[in-house]
Amino acid sequence: MRKYLLIGVSAFVLGAGAMAYVSPIAQANIAPKTKTYKLLELFGDVLGTVEDQYVTEVDDKKLIEAALDGMLTSLDPHSGYLSPDSYEDMQDTTRGEYGGLGLEVTSEDGVVKVVSPMDGTPADRAGVKAGDYITAVNSQSVLGLTVNEAVKQMRGAPGEPVTLTIARDKTDPFDVKLVREIIKPKAAIARMEGSYGYVRLPGFNEKATDAVSAAITDLRAKNPQMKGLILDLRNNPGGLLDQAVGVSDLFLDGGEVVSQRGRDPRNIQRYNAKPGDLLNGMKMVVLINQGSASAAEIVAGALQDRHRAELVGLTSFGKGSVQTVIPLRGGADGALKLTTAKYFTPSGRSIQKTGIAPDLEVAQTRDQAQDIANRVWFSEASFKNALNADEGKSRVAPHAPAEAPPTGFDDKKDDFQLQRAIAVLNAGSVAATPKLPKPAAKVADITAKAATAAGKAAPSQNK
């Protein structure tokens, strides 16, 4: 009895002390909560006014879903609200089969922008390019729509024709006619390039790791003298994190692949490879470009940091944030797609905004080299509300790339970046690869140098 009494007294004393200590904090928290409740009341007032006074009748469900999406997309370009239908579409996409045109898109200032067309799809065959803006679908403007709303207009029954209105830099807007298909993204495309295996991975759906493993196993079985591998991740928009880890794991003999860090800097989740390298240390080159994003950047960054492969091509997109899909009532009310962390390569580099830089920078065409020298290329850094990169870091500015196709090279028939990847494998490393002459100075270079020279020559003035 005495023991229980002492415990009771102790509990009372501790409780009183806790109340005396917590009470001021609780009072301090009342003010911000009160502001939140007032703003929610404001939302209700606005909704009621719209219902009563808008020129035509409104759909409350549509208004509230748009408000939810607007709230989340204001945080960063990759957060958003998924309606029940959009959530189901997203699940179909990650499973690797759905009806549509084969485009990975995002939104920039209320305009739908192409991140990448998928290999072998209607959009790819029609010549839609990364960086294109889609302004209308079947002559109906999609300006101001959310990405989910625009995607819903582009998807539909297979066999139906669709006309996209495209705005592209340096050209007048034009229409592209396509026919919807059941999109079955090829999990992996494999062939031999001389003595080297070549595997192209268009995306990271649920089948990616198994497909790459099977492709390499098949190549080696048919070509026992295979001397190396080229993994092509160009225009790969990413996908599932576990598949990025799985693909990296195929080539790494244990050790870290990637880490993700949330709001609390102490909250670090690390993903490691298992022992065993599918290629037993065979030479590797990874091809990347400005359309390589997210999961593709995780793989490229891991293999580069771990000195398992060298990278050839152009700096990647720079999408280094983690989105968690949070179903609402089991998906009955849709889901939240919320940015919850950032990715970091094994050496601790953040991918966000800056992207992964190649070991050998190579433009695919002479026109592309000109563009890289004279303007800022579309990337994660193009979004006004993109999450910041690591402190003090910024994406590479316009510049003349290290290499570009020489005069006379037919880039319609030949793949210059692939040729340079083969040259790296032949030489054994980027450092040992004979370098091509740097492309001639571009207009932007000449203008910048002239401005610098003029600034240095200008006489000082007292003001």
Structure tokens at 116: 């990448």
Q: Active site includes 413?
A: no
The helix (run of H) or strand (run of E) holding residue 117 is strand 111-117
Q: Which residues contact 240 (CB under 8 A, 6 or more apart)?
A: 94, 204, 205, 206, 208, 295
Burial class (CB in 10 A: 0-12, 13-18, 19+), 236: buried
For residue 406, which amino acid is it?
P
Contact 244, 299 (CB under 8 A): yes
Residue in 69, 89, 232, 305 annotated catalytic: 305
Q: Active site includes 277?
A: no
Burial class (CB in 10 A: 0-12, 13-18, 19+), 318: buried
Residue in 113, 319, 342, 442 annotated catalytic: 319
Round to whole Å and give the CA distance between 239 and 90: 11
Quote the DSSP letter at residue 402.
S
Tracing tokens 């970046």 back to the chain, one arrives at 417
Q: Active site includes 294?
A: yes
Please give the C-alpha separations between residue 300 and each of 152, 200, 261, 312, in angstroms, as whole numbers. Answer: 32, 13, 19, 10
Residue in 294, 321, 350, 382 annotated catalytic: 294
Q: What are phi and psi of 376, to 5 degrees?
A: -75, 125
Q: Which residues pair with 231 in a beta bridge?
A: 199, 286
Round to whole Å and give the CA distance between 97 and 186: 10
Active-site amino acid positions: 294, 305, 319
